[in-house]
């Protein structure tokens, strides 16, 4: 491994290579191509600002989403997955690979000069097939090149570690990402608009929890081309109010719940799950499941980073991270909606502490 790192480091810094020495703008993509195949802890620490030097982070990092999904590379999506089509006209869809590449291009242009890491990609719901020549073969006799695959759902996050904030002693890095699911597309029809979700916000380095606000989220992008998709992504990046988002999260540090208030809140949340629909309409929406609420309670007692104090008090920044941590168990198709809901809910609780009546039901 040391020899491999030394070779790549020398390669990145070789004399006369305009990609690193003379053109800072092209450094991120050049370095990412050189880092292909390296362990994730190394890839995630490539630094254009360091002119190609590699920084190895010895700690193990958890994925930004965990439930029912697995990690794949961008090369896997490009080289090993087929692209679904609209069957009535055989028109191709915008593939997961095209979506991620389009977002990566937008991020590279919008945050030119910043450190941009290789996308972390998570996929689920594998769809298997086979080529025409192997239609009548028994499954046990299929050769690797005769099988086809694509993933129904994909989520990805592109971290920008050169843009960081510190809240509650935690370092947060800017992140841009998206979600694509084919289960909300009718692929048995003629080509129509395709739907995507894109977000920007922060990722907590201590736990890889995603912090997403309403201002940094588009949950129903509908486009027919990659060019239209890029336009929507740029629109989100331009409209995202980073300072406002950070200010709200920082203010959460200064507000606390006592242990009795925490217990009251959890009790109300459990009651909320079983309220009549008519009553729920009068109360702000909460999307978290019973199992996720159980995870929040367990983390309140046991999580080394965000548990309550010895007297049971907990500030709302830690409370927010209990929710975003529990959200990592969401499926890909509901992950972003719950991310936004976690932010709105905790922000609502903070206003309820100050006397606002909107979320007061959860503390009464």
pLDDT in tens, 335-356: 999 999 999 999 999 999 999 9
In this predicted structure, what is the pLDDT of residue 2?
A: 40
CB neighbour list of residue 106: distance below 8 Å, 6 or more residues apart: 176, 230, 233, 234, 237
DSSP 265-299: HHHHHHHHTTS-HHHHTTS------HHHHHHHHHH
Q: What is the mean pLDDT of residues 268-274?
A: 94
| Residue 250 to residue 245: CA distance in whole angstroms | 9
Q: What is the mean pLDDT of residues 312-329?
A: 97
Side-chain-facing half-sphere of 218: CA atoms under 13 Å? 24
Identify the CA nearest to 122 among candidates 182, 83, 66, 185: 66
- Beta strands (DSSP E) in 168-242 are 170-181, 194-204, 210-211, 217-223
Q: How many C-beta neighbours within 10 Å does residue 318 have?
A: 23
Work out the mean pLDDT of the chain and round it to a whole number.
85
| Residue 116 to residue 112: CA distance in whole angstroms | 9
Q: What pTM does this model have?
A: 0.81
| Residue 154 to residue 81: CA distance in whole angstroms | 12
87-103 pLDDT, tens per residue?
888 889 999 999 999 99
Q: Which residues face 222 on adjacent strands?
A: 195
201-235 pLDDT, tens per residue?
999 999 999 999 999 999 999 999 999 999 999 99
- Percent helix, strand, coil in the chain, to 5, is 45, 20, 35
Residue 181 pLDDT class (50, 70, 90 cuts): very high
In this predicted structure, what is the pLDDT of residue 152?
A: 96
Are 52 and 27 in contact by the 8 Å Cβ rule? The answer is yes
CB neighbour list of residue 238: distance below 8 Å, 6 or more residues apart: 110
Are 71 and 184 in contact by the 8 Å Cβ rule? The answer is no
């Amino acid at each position: 491994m040391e020899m491999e790192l030394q070779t790549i480091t020398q390669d990145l810094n070789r004399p006369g290579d305009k990609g690193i020495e003379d053109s800072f703008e092209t450094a991120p993509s050049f370095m990412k191509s050189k880092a292909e195949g390296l362990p994730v802890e190394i890839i995630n620490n490539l630094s254009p600002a360091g002119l190609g030097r590699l920084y190895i982070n010895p700690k193990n990092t958890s994925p930004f989403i965990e439930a029912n999904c697995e990690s794949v590379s961008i090369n896997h999506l490009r080289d090993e997955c087929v692209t679904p089509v609209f069957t009535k006209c055989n028109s191709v869809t915008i593939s997961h690979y095209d979506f991620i590449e389009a977002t990566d291009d937008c991020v590279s242009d919008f945050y030119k000069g910043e450190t941009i890491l290789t996308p972390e990609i998570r996929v689920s719901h594998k769809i298997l097939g086979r080529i025409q020549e192997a239609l009548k073969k028994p499954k046990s006799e299929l050769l690797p090149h005769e099988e086809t695959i694509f993933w129904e759902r994909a989520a990805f996050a592109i971290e920008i570690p050169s843009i960081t904030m510190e809240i509650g002693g935690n370092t947060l890095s800017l992140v841009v990402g998206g979600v694509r699911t084919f289960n909300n597309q009718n692929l048995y029809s003629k080509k129509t608009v395709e739907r995507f979700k894109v977000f920007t916000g922060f990722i907590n380095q201590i736990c890889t929890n995603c912090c997403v606000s309403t201002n940094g989220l588009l949950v129903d992008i509908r486009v027919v081309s990659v060019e239209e998709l890029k336009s929507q992504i740029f629109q989100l990046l331009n409209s995202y109010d980073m300072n406002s988002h950070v200010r709200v999260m920082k203010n959460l540090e200064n507000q606390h719940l006592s242990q009795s208030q925490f217990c009251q809140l959890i009790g109300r949340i459990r009651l909320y799950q079983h309220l009549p629909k008519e009553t729920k309409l009068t109360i702000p929406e909460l999307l978290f499941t019973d199992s996720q609420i159980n995870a929040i309670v367990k983390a309140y007692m046991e999580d080394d980073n965000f548990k309550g104090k010895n007297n049971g008090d907990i500030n709302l920044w830690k409370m927010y991270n209990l929710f975003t941590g529990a959200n990592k168990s969401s499926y890909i198709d509901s992950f972003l909606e719950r991310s936004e809901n976690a932010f709105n809910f905790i922000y609502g609780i903070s206003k309820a502490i100050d006397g606002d009546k909107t979320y007061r039901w959860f503390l009464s």
